Amino acid sequence: MVWNDFRNGANSDLYAQRISASGEVLWTLDGVPVVTGPGYQAATAIVADGAGGVIVAWHHSLHPVNDIYAQRIDGSGALLWTPGGVALCTAANAQFSPCIASDGAGGAIVAWHDFRFDQFEYPDIFAQRVDASGTVLWTHNGVAVCTVDEHQEGTQIVSDGSGGAIIGWWDYRNFTNTDIFAQRIDAAGAALWPVNGVNASPAAQFQLYVRIVSDGAAGAILTWQDHRNSTPDVYVQRLNASGAPQWGVSGLSISTTGWDVRPELVSDGAGGAIITWEDSLTSDSRHDIFMQRINASGAPQWTAGGVGLAVALGNQTSVTMAADGSGGTFVAWEDSTTGTSTHYDIRVQRINASGAFQWTPGGVAVCDLFNAQRAPVILAAAGGGAIVAWQDFRTGSNYDIYALRLGPEGSIPTGVDHTPPVSAVALGSNHPNPFSGATAIDLDLVRDANVAVDVFDVAGRRVRQLNFGRIAAGSKSMTFDGMGDDGRPLPSGIYFYRINASGVTATRKMVIAR
C-alpha cells in the first residue's frame, strides 16, 4: 500500500507498507518513505512489478513546478531507482494526475495530464514508459497521446497485453459537449489508432468520468457517466484492437433510470465486464449502489436495470472493485446509514458470475467503529478471499491506514478491534435495523457463557447496560427495547452495541429511527 502522508508537516510525502497474508506488517513501522521533502507529492498511482514489488507514479508539486516521477520498491521495501524517483516528465508548466499500467516486462507505462502548451486552461495527454531498471524508454518528457485544442481530462490506462497500453479520457474538442476518446500506444511509444484518438461516444451533451479495462483481446471496454438524456446515465463501449467501436456508434446504455453516476468496472475474464454505479432518484437524494454484467457482445447478463448491491438508508458511495478470478467480483464501498459525512463505515460484498450475492445481504461490515472510515481499496487474495484497506478516523484526531483480510466465505478469520474469531462467538446484526421500538440481537455461542451488552452513543458514552446472565451454548436471540438506563426512550440516531461473553467482545452498529 502507498499513501499520501502529512506526518512531517504541511508537505505531503509518500509512504509505503507491505503486509503478509496473515496481516503481519513486514516493513518499517508506519511505512517506508518513498519520497519526502519540500513540495507536495500527490495523485499516487501504483502497479505490481511482477517480482513481488511495485512501481509507483506521482506528481511532485513545488510551485510553480509540477512534474511526474516514478519509483520502484522491491518486496523487502528497498527503493530500487534514483532517490526521490525517476523523472518521467519535467516539461514546462504543470503535469499532474498520473495513471499507470504494467508493460508486462517489469516496467510500467504512465500517462498524465499536461499543460506544457497551455499554462492555465487546456491540458493535453502525454505518456512515458520506464523499464525495470528505471530507464526512461520513450521521447524525453513523454510521447503525445492527444494534443487537440480544448482540454482532455479524466485519463485512465490499461495494458494492451502486448507491451503497450490503451488510454481513455473525456474530451472537450467539440466545444459544446464532451465525448469519450481512447488511444492505443505500442511498446515503442507509437500511436496505433488515429491521431488524437478514437471517439468512443460521439453522442450529444456530456460524457464524463470514464473507466477502462482490457477486453482480453488487445482492445478495451470503457464505461462512463453520460448526460445525453439530460439526467446522468451509465453507458459502455468496447473498442477492438484496431480501435473500432463494437457496441454501436455511441455505446450501449446500462442504466437509464434515476440519477446514475460514477461508474466503476472490472473484467469478467470472458471478454465482458462487471460494472457498478451509484443510483438515486434525484440529484440530491441518497445514493445506492447497483451493478450489471455485460458479455463480450455487450448484452446485459443480469436483471434489467441492474442488481441492487447496497440499497439502504443513507448513502452508499466510493465503490472500489476487484475481479475474483471466477467471473465475479469483490466490491467495497463507504456506507453511511444516516447519509452524513461523519459516520461512514466500510462494507464488502462478493458477487458471482450470475449476479448472486455470496456473502451477507447488505455486505460484510469490515469496519463500523466510531467516526469515519473512508476511501476503501480492494484486491483479490490467494485462496478466494479479498484484502481491503481504508483510511480511518476512529481516533477522532488523525486519519490512519487500516487493512483487513476476508476469507472466501466473507469471514473475518482474526480479531479486529476486539471482534472475536467467528469460531468463538458469532454476533449477527440486530433486526430490524433501523428500528423504532425494540430490536432483536442474534448470538451464536460455542460454549455456555455469561453475556452482557453495553450500548453506546456516537460520542462513546454508555447509555444502557444489559446483563443477560448465563446463556447456554447455541443460537440465541436477545431483545433490546431501545430504552436508556434512565428508563426513557433513546433519541433517534446511531448507536453501537458491544457484547461481552465470558471476556470475549464484539461490536456492531444499530440505528434508532423514531
Answer whether residue 466 is part of any domain.
yes
CA distance 251 to 140: 36
Among 101-110, 130-139, 336-345, the range scoring the smallest mean pLDDT is 336-345
With contact defined as beta carbons under 8 Å apart, do 367 and 392 qualify? Answer: yes
Question: What is the number of alpha carbons within 13 Å of residue 280 lying toward its C-beta?
Answer: 14
Confidence check: pLDDT of 308 > 70: yes
Answer whether residue 181 is part of any domain.
no
The more confident residue out of 65 and 275 is 275
| Banded model confidence at residue 420, pLDDT cuts 50, 70, 90 | very low
Instruction: Specify the pTM.
Output: 0.81
Nearest to 224 by CA among 240, 212, 242: 212
CA distance 262 to 472: 49
A 10 A CB-CB count for 91 gives 16
> How do residues 309-354 score in pLDDT, each as one tens digit?
988 777 889 999 999 999 999 999 998 865 555 678 999 999 999 9
Mean pLDDT, residues 466-473 = 88
CA distance 407 to 415: 13
% of the chain beyond a pLDDT of 90: 65
In the numeric block, the cell 447496497 is attached to: 310
Concatenating the DSSP letter of every residue in 406-423 gives E-TTS---S-BTTBPPTT
Mean pLDDT score across all residues of the chain: 90
Nearest to 133 by CA among 193, 55, 207: 55
Number of domains in the chain: 1
Amino acid in the structure at residue 258: G
Answer whether residue 437 is part of any domain.
yes
Nearest to 222 by CA among 191, 247, 190, 186: 247
- What cell does 402 get? 487500516
Domain that holds residue 498: 426-512
CA distance 310 to 362: 6
% of the chain beyond a pLDDT of 70: 94
Confidence check: pLDDT of 422 > 50: no
Residue 1: the pLDDT is 94
Q: How far is CA 327 from CA 69, 273, 414, in A?
A: 35, 9, 27
Nearest to 61 by CA among 3, 121, 110, 12: 12
Nearest to 224 by CA among 239, 208, 212: 208
Answer whether residue 261 is part of any domain.
no
Confidence check: pLDDT of 121 > 90: no
A 10 A CB-CB count for 18 gives 19
Q: Is the dihedral of CA 39, 121, 264, 189 positive or negative?
A: negative
Q: Which DSSP state fits 443?
A: E
Residue 459: the pLDDT is 65
> How do residues 364-386 score in pLDDT, each as one tens digit?
989 888 788 999 999 999 888 99
Of these ranges, 18-32, 105-119, 462-476, the one predicted with the greatest mean pLDDT is 105-119
Answer whether residue 169 is part of any domain.
no
DSSP 3-state of 478:
strand
- At 38, give phi and psi (nearest 5°): -60, 155
Q: Show Cβ contacts of residue 245 under 8 Å, excluding neighbours closer than 6 positions.
A: 198, 200, 237, 238, 239, 251
Measured between its terminal Cα atoms, the distance across the chain in Å is 42
Residue 38: the pLDDT is 87
Mean pLDDT, residues 395-411 = 90
Q: Show Cβ contacts of residue 347 under 8 Å, excluding neighbours closer than 6 positions.
A: 310, 316, 332, 333, 335, 362, 363, 364, 365, 366
In the numeric block, the cell 499543460 is attached to: 115
Answer whether residue 317 is part of any domain.
no
Answer whether residue 482 is part of any domain.
yes
Answer whether residue 335 is part of any domain.
no
| Banded model confidence at residue 256, pLDDT cuts 50, 70, 90 | confident
**Domain holding 487: CATH number?**
2.60.40.4070
Residue 476: the pLDDT is 84
> How do residues 183-235 score in pLDDT, each as one tens digit?
999 999 999 999 999 999 999 999 999 999 999 999 999 999 999 998 899 99
Amino acid in the structure at residue 453: V
CA distance 113 to 380: 30
> How do residues 158-182 score in pLDDT, each as one tens digit?
999 999 999 999 999 988 899 999 9
Confidence check: pLDDT of 110 > 70: yes
CA distance 144 to 167: 12
Among 225-239, 270-284, 336-350, 470-484, the range scoring the smallest mean pLDDT is 336-350
- What cell does 341 get? 459525512
With contact defined as beta carbons under 8 Å apart, do 180 and 198 qualify? Answer: no
With contact defined as beta carbons under 8 Å apart, do 505 and 498 qualify? Answer: yes
